[in-house]
Amino acid sequence: MPVSVHSVIATNLATTVSSNRFHRNVSRRRIFSSSVKCSVETAEADRWVKLKNGNDSLEICRVLNGMWQTSGGWGKIDRNDAVDAMLRHADAGLSTFDMADHYGPAEDLYGIFINRVRRERPPEYLEKIKGLTKWVPPPIKMTSSYVRQNIDISRKRMDVAALDMLQFHWWDYANDGYLDALKHLTDLKEEGKIKTVALTNFDTERLQKILENGIPVVSNQVQHSIVDMRPQQRMAQLCELTGVKLITYGTVMGGLLSEKFLDTNLTIPFAGPRLNTPSLQKYKRMVDAWGGWNLFQGLLRTMKSISTKHGVSIPTVAVRYVLDQQGVAGSMIGVRLGLAEHIQDANAIFSLVLDEEDVNSIQEVTKKGKDLLQVIGDCGDEYRRI
């Protein structure tokens, strides 16, 4: 008889979940229950990846266009310029867009964009376009009608019959209403209103619980960078066992992992680049928790050496490093639509191959930093600590 995911996960992970430890060299195991088994299939020189769980599947670009930057704080977004920029990204093969219900006009911009694609591009082009959104409700009672109403709002804003992916976030684990919400989302998937159900910012323990309840999620979107390697300590091991994949954000740390911040001293007022966006401020706090600005400068110098060796930029190295990590299906690069573009750097990620020397030199620096799992907690805990 097939081995159920419930018994396999319980047997192999209960001890490690309770003890807060996973081993990097855990042996690979296959889950034979077809109703929950996920897999990933790569094609076209690493550009595309197919997320699968049972009969659910979605092919996305491994480098995603993150649209948090449309929500304010990064500069005023002009609607027409933003949609033009979305078309340029898609024309360049960067055809997966990540957004959320609370990212300002992001879902509305996608709706305008997808209609332009329908009018101005061939049908086979449209098939490559994917819009991933998130739903971040308050932790109240999750009724079927409430969930349906909110998903219908996103469907209307994005002007699609079915959401390609709905990534669900929950604020309060003490309230297990997230299981009710996910079951209602699964019902909507069965009705054809959602193609794939996924998570964002869930920790390992709760991901395991969700899978044990038979909810067919295909991915979990989490913060993951060369500095923040928490997902590789616990989450990736569960993903290896179950086939759930990781989509990462914060991978270039809002732009901190770039030439712009190399050889700068932020301790002297006005001496370095301003931390003038929400993402720069957020990830500067992560640098402080990890090891401070001097250690971060050592990391940037190492990455600059690697980027020069390969003829690419520091952000390209940063994303490639994370894409090569266990369980990672795709990584986010924030797009300031109509204000700045990094299409060439993004496309260079697919052809970049980091060799053993590159990886070792990065790890020589990162091992000097603090263990953020101990400082912050597991994936998503930074949003739930008071």
Q: What is the pLDDT of residues 229-263, one digit of tens each?
A: 999 999 999 999 999 999 999 999 999 999 999 99
Question: Over 60: is that where the pLDDT of 10 sits?
Answer: no
Select the highest-mean-pLDDT range: 72-81, 150-159, 334-343. 150-159
Residue 29's pLDDT is 31
Question: Over 70: is that where the pLDDT of 141 sits?
Answer: yes
Residue 330's pLDDT is 98
Going by C-alpha positions, the residue among 241, 357, 242, 370 that lies closest to residue 306 is 357
Confidence at 23, pLDDT banded by 50, 70, 90: very low
Place of tokens 């400082």: 375
Confidence at 8, pLDDT banded by 50, 70, 90: very low
The model's pTM: 0.88
Residue 76's pLDDT is 82
Cα(105)–Cα(99) distance, rounded to whole angstroms? 9
Question: Over 70: is that where the pLDDT of 277 sits?
Answer: yes
Q: What is the DSSP letter of 338?
A: T
Cα(102)–Cα(138) distance, rounded to whole angstroms? 12
Segment 131-144 mean pLDDT: 97
Other CB atoms within 10 Å distance of the CB of residue 140: 11
Residue 255's pLDDT is 94
Q: Looking at 6-10, 300-304, 331-335, 346-350, which range is the least confident one?
A: 6-10
Higher pLDDT, 175 or 40: 175
Other CB atoms within 10 Å distance of the CB of residue 11: 11
Segment 137-141 mean pLDDT: 95
Work out the burial of residue 251: count CB atoms within 10 Å of its CB; fewer than 13 is exposed, 13-18 middle, 19 or more buried.
Answer: buried
